[in-house]
Structure 1
Amino acid sequence: MINILVIGPSWIGDMMMSHSLYRTIKSQYPEAVIDVMAPDWCRSLLLRMPEVNKGLLLPFKHGELALKKRFYLGKFLQKNGLYDRAYILPNSFKSALVPFFAKIKRRIGWRGEMRYGLLNDIRVLDKSKFPLMVERYIALAYDQPVHSSNLLPKPLLWPRLKVEENEKRLLMQQFILPNDKLIIGFCPGAEFGPAKCWPYYYYALLAEQLIYEGYQVILLGAKKERKIGQAIIQTLSNTTHSHCSNLIGHTKLEEAVILISLCTAIVSNDSGLMHIAAALNCPIVALYGPSSPNFTPPLSNKTRIIHLSSHYDNIRTGNTKDGYHQSMINILPKLVYQELNTLLYSIK
């Protein structure tokens, strides 16, 4: 048996992609016991990854050094002698401290932020050889360094979350969703801010069309994105309000996962919820603007990606009065509707 500690990422999308590492480790070492240390708000995702034994609390604020706390946490792990090896996925100096203080025998990660000494199995990343973030995670699973994504065994093991049927039934009742309609989910927010968001008025136009065709639309997102949902609802005509459920800010993350699993398809910005939808194998129309699908695409074969390259691509912040990025404004609802229909037809 190999006992493994993973220092996990802090963002939803990165956490989802890290599941490929856990799956790859288990494919090589079926007896491995994998515990993942992560922020409290995303530990619920780990419970849906069969390869993960425990989701441990990473008790530090984002960006906090907390050297003394990390030292005592490491010494606690050392005293209990729980782990044979550690994988450190963030590239920061501080993320490697706990496994170092715990004196875990083998500490694996990319070189990152001056981590010589903290890591004793240090890999040097040539970004051009690993264009996808998920490939960089997977490459760490192998005992011998892999120097190119072309050398990774295929097929890659993409993230896959589990949701039980009884969970779906309970949430259908809890959020009063109709049993007689197919559900299309919209994820109109993004952690990065409005620059990565498709305009709310475009989402409203698309919702009107889908509701007219008999779909139920649900809006999903975090509390800080509530204004987006409200703006979409306010833009809808009175006759369509009842067929669009604004659940933004009204669900826990684990509930959002189950609700996405209920959807016939998802329309989403480049966001954590998009990566969750991919891990649930839910059909996705993914909308990209200033970020690149060549680095963090949704890892699913049921995907249509819209990314209109333009001279605005090198601008990372919104350049309109609403904070939207021009490349997102250029994606018209008619195109998204066409791609959604093509996607749904292709999976029938």
Structure 2
Amino acid sequence: MNILIIGPSWVGDMIMSHSLYQVLKQQYPHCEIDVLAPNWCKPLLARMPEIRKALTMPIGHGTFGLMERYKIGKSLRNQYDMAIVLPNSLKSAFIPTFAKIPIRRGWKGESRYGFLNDLRSNKNDYPMMVQRYIALGFEKSAVPNSEDLTIPAPYLILDKQEIENTKNYFSEQLQLTNNRLAIGFCPGAEFGPAKRWPHYHYGKLAQLLIEKGYSIRLFGSEKDHQVAEAIRLSLANELQSYCINLAGQTSLNQAVDLIGDCRAVVTNDSGLMHVTAALKCPLVALYGPTSPQYTPPLSDTAEIIRLIKGGLIKVRKGQDSQEGYHQSLIDITPEMVMEKLEKLIL
């Protein structure tokens, strides 16, 4: 059986989808799995051994592109026995329909009647996103309930030689820290400062760690470079050389290698949090308005700190500080994080 996955558009969601691919290999042992996803996903998919091929989705997130979707679907005809659509949008179901794939499976989402012929409507029975992905790996009549659903943890393959190659590429930045174990910080968040732990807390934690003999690696995209630099510059001059701002400097593939080389990671609720979990790297995950009930790090070596109760709070910029931080994250002190971190690395 050949299976086409219409993949998600976000880093964290792509990592969580790996649990589904593992379940598909259990349910259909001889299946071949291809994933249609944005080009930037390819480094992640290449590290998932269950995937045969990553196909580039050239249409940007949020773009309708009906004719282009038709052309892609037509080019995929007579290649697949089943498609599984992970995004909830109507347009994400077009390509499998245009490809005339016999079985088109997914959640009802935006009323996708007629486009998906194996339509599931009980999504709320599965409170975690990863459970919703995994449930699509089963025949409709055989899906376990959420309490009985086994979650295979996502994992990414690391290659020691590739890690060394990446470290050599950044040798100039890393040269002063070669004799120190690295702690990674992931201070960015896709949807604004309300999901971020304050930069000054990261700075204080960096100071505590550097004084204990560690170095700090700051990870993120180009738009995270400024907040990462604020963390570095908050340190005393003599400590700044042990705090390396790599945000916006690495490819995703390079970031995966360098995170995998860290002793531990401190991170906001973000895509890189899920990458770190999939690398089996010890991590402390900091939650505020978002909820670990829905998208926790899927790792046995993760510590979660959240000081408020309840589910998701939809806020992108908090009113509790000039920088837009949310009070629930401001209230998490560096000392709290240090205590959790020491449990993981000592």
Per the shorter chain, which TM-score range?
over 0.9
Aligned to 1:162: 157
| Displacement of 1:171 | 1.8
Aligned match of 1:125: 122
- Whole-angstrom distance in 1 between the partners of 2:29 and 2:227: 44
Q: What is residue 91 of structure 1 aligned with on the other side?
A: 88
Structure 1 equivalent of residue 139 of structure 2: 143
Please tell me the root mean square deviation across aligned C-alpha atoms, in Å: 1.5
1:276 aligns with 2:272: no
For 1:96 and 1:83, how far apart are their aligned partners in 2? 15
User: Partners in 2 of 1:3 and 1:94 — Cα distance?
Assistant: 22
Aligned to 1:232: 231
Q: Secondary structure of the equivalent of 1:5?
A: strand
Instruction: Give the length in aligned residue pairs.
Output: 339
Mapped pair 1:196 → 2:191: no
8 A contact 2:186–2:273 mirrored in 1: yes
Counterpart position of 1:22: 21
Letter in structure 1 aligned against 2:181: L
Measure, in 1, the Cα distance between the counterparts of 2:310 and 2:120.
35
Given that 2:282 and 2:302 are in contact with CA atoms closer than 8 Å, whether structure 1 keeps it comes out as yes
Gaps (5+ residues) in structure 2? none
Q: Which residue of 2 aligns with 1:291?
A: 290
Provide the secondary structure at the position in 1 that maps to 2:127: coil
Q: Quote the residue 1:321 is aligned against.
A: 322
What residue number does 1:248 align with? 247
Deviation of the 1:312 alpha carbon: 11
User: In structure 2, what is the Cα distance between the partners aligned to 1:184 and 1:17?
Assistant: 24
| Rounded Cα–Cα distance in structure 1 between residues aligned with 2:85 and 2:4 | 9
1:180 is aligned to 2:182: no
* CA distance, structure 1, for counterparts of residue 298 and residue 310 of structure 2: 27
Structure 2 Cα separation of the partners of residues 298 and 315 of structure 1: 20
**Matches of 1:59 and 1:105 in 2, distance apart?**
24
SS for the counterpart of 1:114 is coil
**How far 1:143 moved relative to its partner?**
1.3
TM-score (norm 1): 0.94
Stretches (4+) displaced over 3 A: 310-315
Distance in 2, Cα, partners of 1:31 & 1:312 = 39
Cα 1:315/1:136, change in 2 over 3 Å: closer
What is the CA-CA distance between 1:311 and the residue it aligns to?
9.4
Corresponding residue of 1:339: 340
Give deviations 1:282-308, integer Å, cap 9, x for gaps: 001000000000000000000110000
AA at the equivalent of 1:134 = V
Matched-pair contact (CA < 8 Å) for 1:310–1:327: no
Q: Which amino acid in structure 1 is aligned with residue 211 of structure 2?
A: Y
One-letter amino acid matched to 1:215: Y
Cα distance in 1 for residues equivalent to 2:158 and 2:144: 36
Residue in structure 1 matched with residue 260 of structure 2 by the alignment: 261
1:323 Cα deviation from its structure 2 partner: 1.2
Once residues 65 and 148 of structure 1 are traced to their aligned partners in structure 2, the CA distance between those partners, rounded to angstroms, is 34
What CA distance in whole angstroms lies between the structure 2 residues aligned with 1:162 and 1:181?
A: 24
CA distance in 2, matches of 1:256, 1:162: 13
**CA distance in 1: counterparts of 2:270 and 2:53, whole angstroms:** 25
Which one of 100, 118, 122 corresponds to residue 97 of structure 2?
100
SS at match of 1:340: helix
- Could you tell me which residue of structure 2 aligns to residue 62 of structure 1? 61
Q: Distance in 1 between matches of 2:309 and 2:17?
A: 31
Q: Distance in 2 between matches of 1:315 and 1:15?
A: 22
